Amino acid sequence: MKHRIAAGLLALAVTMGARPGLAQPAGWTPPEDIVIEATGGADGPVLSVKSVTLERGGYYRFDIGCTEDSDAAFSFGLQDFVADTHLRVLTAGGMEVYLQGMSFRKIQCDGPGGIRFSFYPMRKGIYEIPVTDQADETRRTILTVTVQ
């Protein structure tokens, strides 16, 4: 009986892993990097990328930074987006934090700097990530992330 259960679980695992778009990369496959830089503008934050399209189950890494010529503090409201992802590794100042499914609400830079986090998007949808100038919260822009 134990062998039948083990064989059934193995068959299920193989079947689930073979579904296109849902399988996680095998081995040491690196995530696809997406660089998003914020600078200050006359009407609020200006982003190097205004929209991103991702595939559900793909492996990605957001590299979010405030550029050297920016002295503003920006907040990236990620709560809704990260709630529907499987987070992997967050890197700040050369230190890696292995999140393994944990969560966070926002990323904020107070001047030049950056942070990176890798993830698997798990739910299809359109996510609006508000990017706010901390000095004046009415000055903001939206980063749109679409997961197909």
**Residue 21 corresponds to which amino acid?**
G
Domains of the chain: 23-147 (2.60.40.420)
Give the global pTM.
Answer: 0.76
**pLDDT confidence of residue 11:** 40
- Greater confidence (107 vs 54) lies with 54
Number of H helices, E strands in the chain: 2, 11
Distance CA 38, CA 70 (A): 8
Q: Looking at the predicted structure, is the pLDDT value of residue 54 above 50?
A: yes
The residue-averaged pLDDT of 77-106 equals: 88
